[in-house]
Structure 1
């Protein structure tokens, strides 16, 4: 490592970390410069769990790198581009395109909720991103406003942070032990420890759409226990602000994943609303077989 001060480390001999952009449970994201290619990038430095044995830590690094490499193969305008994956000081680091602009969560916090039309467009863009990931056997598992970036210059919606993604055929540490994720946006079948599929990401999209138009998750409560109960048991009543998007929201927030609105159905409803300003009703059995 070349050290250029606390905020200017160089990792892998080329990526100069210059300013911290954010910190979360899955690591620290830095604004950085790729000194080899002379371009600005974002570097996500994943945490090192000191409670793991040396063997477990090595397995965690390998699994993280395998999943990051899988995500790096995804190509979609609404998925963040992964440029490189390196290990530095025994920590996996993911080098990504730098999106100049804040998150959807930050936009809501600063300026208030989106209008239903803008929220529908965000939802449509995210459906495209999820469709590409799911086709490649990758579940995001942490879709929430904080993981959706809005590029300032273009308005492009970008899905990021696949830190707890699940890759088909791979076993991850996040599948064992304590729950990892954002409970207010997590599908009830995952809360219950059941096997999950793409339908779980679609539930998260439904909760995100409600947050986008109302400013708050429909499952926000005063305690984690309250959140879990709300996700699994409470009657789901979207707030008045979500009424224009009610058919798609209620279809996505169907607790039975077999009956949940699928991606194609959600796309049809959102596109109809964007084009006409009116969302058609949710057809019976729109989410597939019971």
Structure 2
């Protein structure tokens, strides 16, 4: 057998061994990964495969989401789940079993373990305030594909490896495989998935899931996913973990500090996840029912863990081949600063590695009270229930109402719930404006627009549930990070223009584009347009009286100042102001007096950006000044055109 990395990689990727997703699934994955993807395109692609559509709807209505009301249309499924989740589910549902899985017990056991680890990763991900459970699930499913390919390509060498390394493979699989084959299963999995053009946020965590610390300094989302894959692998092998006290201590530490699962909750979590694995496996055409006592193994592991919690675990299990390692440090006392992520996972690198109920199902506290209007002033410490949502904390208060951080158990995700105040609700104009914001946002489905999931009413007060974006507004980002590198300015401008183009395709004019209404997601750096409170659709021009001025003065278009008809091109003027601020650190017009600002908007040309910041490229200055032209006819005429230009300049 050759010990050359490239030779091994070529051999294991022989098409005769590779499980390959159907072409349609890869088309969906590639389309959904584009920043300017139109959800209608995904619906159209999926419509070409009725069987895949049926399976997708079956998953959406399965135990995985547990929705009280079934989703019956593909369009609704794409809207509710989002493009990222649909992308991952389509890939999962289309992924055939590795060839030879049914005839080879070792390959079959590996796939069963992948199903268990994927479902556990999904459930753990759902416990986090900001996560992508579907992507975590598909990463878990594909994580160990390289191990299957190595084992099938070189069965004798694989058998020798497992014999010689024994239990040490649990903590040193990549080291062992590299020594024997010149490449690890994690690298093979990543190379295969990169060839399928899966996005880096799935590929790179798989490449480094045995060594999450290698992703330090990169995007947070990649490291967190790698850590999750590492930990879900431990829980998928709980029956082995409990035999090694130091490893069990580590599992309990991470469960408590990272996932808010103290010992009793972790046990309930594991017992609750077991029946889901069987149903999940069936949905993926991976039959786990014939695995000898599979459910019993995990259940017994949870039971034994409960038994051991009060026992003395100061010595390793007899016959252990693990190197004795120091147990991870205990979490600090409540008033001390929590252990850092690097500290916890650095400890994991010295801990043997072996290698899943949602927050409401592990909650050991009392039942949450139903929402009352008084809770707008003071939310109970433990939160409350509001229809399908659990309000957990207050994110912000404004003139119109309150925004809560909430959990939606049926879809295992955190959301923001915006509720209008009783005082505002009593004003029919304000109430209509609130409803209009919800309708405007709900009509748009795009990664660069904050998604509205539902519009409801409780106790006579309207509210909307929308995507929870954990990050910071662009105005604060500009203030703290100026000068922003030019490539980042171009990237942010392309994203904002793409989101605006999606709104304009639906006939929605935002009317208040400004840095404060663009949110930058912390983990991914994705820019999302928010606050369509002044938006209106093309057929809804009656909400503002003739001559009424709406918008924010510094970024308002001249036609808005004059009270003239506001169109999509007016939004592009405001977007020019945002790009100007990104380039220079200041708005295109200055001043504190309202009338002086409005006069400048209509009559004064902005100082060219290169006079303020000479490193701005000439082409970018031309784009900004064209957008800020006082004459609407001389501006860019569509956000899609601008987005295409900026995307072409990113490379």
TM-score range, shorter chain: 0.7 to 0.9
Higher strand proportion: 1
Matched position secondary structure for 1:235: coil
2:390–2:406: 8 Å Cα contact kept in structure 1? yes
Q: Which residue of 102, 118, 124 corresponds with 2:494?
A: 124
> Does residue 1:186 correspond to 2:556, yes or no?
yes
Structure-2 residue corresponding to 1:41: 415
Structure-1 residue corresponding to 2:626: 251
Q: Distance in 1 between matches of 2:508 and 2:465?
A: 19
Matched position secondary structure for 1:258: helix
Structure 2 CA distance for partners of 1:222 and 1:67, relative to 1, 3 Å = closer
Q: Which residue of 230, 238, 249 corresponds with 2:608?
A: 238
Q: Distance in 2 between matches of 1:113 and 1:28?
A: 34
> Does residue 1:29 correspond to 2:398, yes or no?
no
Structure-2 residue corresponding to 1:98: 468
1:149–1:160: 8 Å Cα contact kept in structure 2? yes
> Does residue 1:107 correspond to 2:481, yes or no?
no
Q: Which residue of 365, 389, 412 corresponds with 1:15?
A: 389
The normalised TM-score by structure 1 is: 0.82
Structure-2 residue corresponding to 1:215: 585
Q: State the 1:12 CA deviation.
A: 3.9
**1:97-137 superposed Cα distances (whole Å, 9 cap, x missing partner):** 11121111221233334222211111111111111111111
Deviates more, 1:82-91 or 1:224-233: 82-91
Q: Which residue of 46, 55, 61 corresponds with 2:431?
A: 61
Alignment of 1:268-283 (within 5 A): 268-275=644-651
Q: Which one has the largest radius of gyration? A: 2
**1:155-176 superposed Cα distances (whole Å, 9 cap, x missing partner):** 1111111111111212454456
Alignment of 1:71-86 (within 5 A): 71-86=441-456
Q: Distance in 1 between matches of 2:394 and 2:417?
A: 9
1:188–1:232: 8 Å Cα contact kept in structure 2? yes
2:384–2:390: 8 Å Cα contact kept in structure 1? yes
Q: Distance in 1 between matches of 2:560 and 2:385?
A: 36
Q: Which residue of 634, 637, 640 corresponds with 1:262?
A: 637
Q: State the 1:95 CA deviation.
A: 0.9
1:252–1:262: 8 Å Cα contact kept in structure 2? no
Q: Distance in 1 between matches of 2:417 and 2:437?
A: 16
Q: State the 1:190 CA deviation.
A: 0.9
Structure-2 residue corresponding to 1:288: none
| Alignment length (residue pairs) | 271
Structure-1 residue corresponding to 2:147: none
The normalised TM-score by structure 2 is: 0.38
Q: Distance in 1 between matches of 2:455 and 2:608?
A: 40
1:60–1:173: 8 Å Cα contact kept in structure 2? no
2:558–2:630: 8 Å Cα contact kept in structure 1? yes
Deviates more, 1:223-232 or 1:65-74: 65-74
Q: State the 1:252 CA deviation.
A: 0.2
1:26–1:163: 8 Å Cα contact kept in structure 2? no
Q: Distance in 2 between matches of 1:2 and 1:267?
A: 43
Q: Distance in 2 between matches of 1:96 and 1:109?
A: 27
- Aligned CA RMSD, in angstroms, stands at 2.8
Q: State the 1:220 CA deviation.
A: 2.6
Matched position secondary structure for 2:635: coil
Q: Distance in 1 between matches of 2:534 and 2:591?
A: 24
1:99–1:149: 8 Å Cα contact kept in structure 2? yes
Unaligned runs of 5+ in 1: 276-290
Q: Distance in 1 between matches of 2:525 and 2:436?
A: 31
Structure-2 residue corresponding to 1:278: none
Q: State the 1:36 CA deviation.
A: 5.2
1:67–1:167: 8 Å Cα contact kept in structure 2? no
**1:178-219 superposed Cα distances (whole Å, 9 cap, x missing partner):** 633211111011110111110000001100011112221111
1:254–1:261: 8 Å Cα contact kept in structure 2? no
